[in-house]
Amino acid sequence: MNGRVLALAVLVGTIVIFAWQTISNAALPWHMMTMRRFANNDSLVRQIRAAAPTNGMYYSNQGVLASVAMTPDLADKTALPFTPMLAKQIAIDVVMAIALLIVVLRMPGAAPLATGFTLGAAGFAAGVALELSDWNWYGFSAGYTIVNAIDVTIQCFIGGFATAFFLKRFGARAVTEERVGVPAGKGYSGPPSGQPTGSRPG
């Protein structure tokens, strides 16, 4: 299978994963439903900045685990441009799509739907291991961790399914074109002129 097909498979996987993440985080309310906004937010933010002078992960033995990522002027980050974070997320999704592609390539002959369910099950296992561990050890809410585990499961399912479907639909065609000597991108319209159908090129 040529590099062009593999690169397109990664692109397809990245697009469907990013599309689901957009729906999950921007259209569906389930993530926000598992979190609560601080009371007295403005004063609390200043207190946190005083206790956590640099951005990073902070903890307290009394059961607090916090990710601090404030701007120097304590600006509302929801009002800042999303472009840098979107670019980073796309790069993350590319890495995820490559990893899914590697697994899909090691499952030759499997139907796209079966591949999607297999990778979805693997994603669920990873989500449970990571998210429910945070619930167990750090006190993350059950709803928050379950939603995130399900989200990861769906990402792996649709990413694996889309990648496998693309390779089944277009990867086999590319292999056939290579075998009969058709340059990539020129299309395949049957065996070379004069060669009986079903025979192998010599």
Chain centroid offset of residue 124 CA: 13
Q: Take residue 81 and report the two structure tokens written for it.
A: 């441009």
Domain assignments of the chain as residue spans, ordered by start: 3-37+81-180
Q: What mean pLDDT is reported for the chain?
A: 88
117, amino acid identity: F
Listed in sequence order, the residues at least 6 apart from 195 whose beta carbon sits closer than 8 Å to its beta carbon are 201
Query: Is a pLDDT exceeding 50 seen at residue 115?
Result: yes
Is residue 173 very low, low, confident or very high in pLDDT (cuts 50, 70, 90)?
Answer: low
Cα dihedral 91, 94, 99, 101, rounded to 10, equals -170
154, amino acid identity: I
Helix (H) or strand (E) holding 65: strand 64-68
**Arithmetic mean of pLDDT, 133-137:** 96
The pLDDT value given to residue 189: 45
49-76 pLDDT tens trace:
999 999 999 999 999 999 999 999 999 9
142-165 pLDDT tens trace:
999 999 999 999 999 999 999 999
CA 30 → CA 34, 42, 85, 168, distances in Å? 7, 25, 21, 34
**107, 136 Cβ separation under 8 angstroms:** no
Which of these ranges, 12-21, 22-31, 187-196, has the smallest mean pLDDT? 187-196
**Arithmetic mean of pLDDT, 104-116:** 95
**Arithmetic mean of pLDDT, 178-187:** 49
Which of these ranges, 58-72, 115-129, 179-193, has the smallest mean pLDDT? 179-193
85-98 pLDDT tens trace:
999 999 999 999 99
The pLDDT value given to residue 186: 52
9 vs 15: CA distance, rounded Å: 10
184, amino acid identity: A
100 vs 177: CA distance, rounded Å: 25
**Arithmetic mean of pLDDT, 98-125:** 96
Q: Choose between 115 and 193: higher pLDDT.
A: 115
Task: Please give the span between the terminal C-alpha atoms of the chain, in angstroms, as a whole number.
Answer: 20
Q: Give the whole-number percent of the chain exceeding pLDDT 90.
A: 79
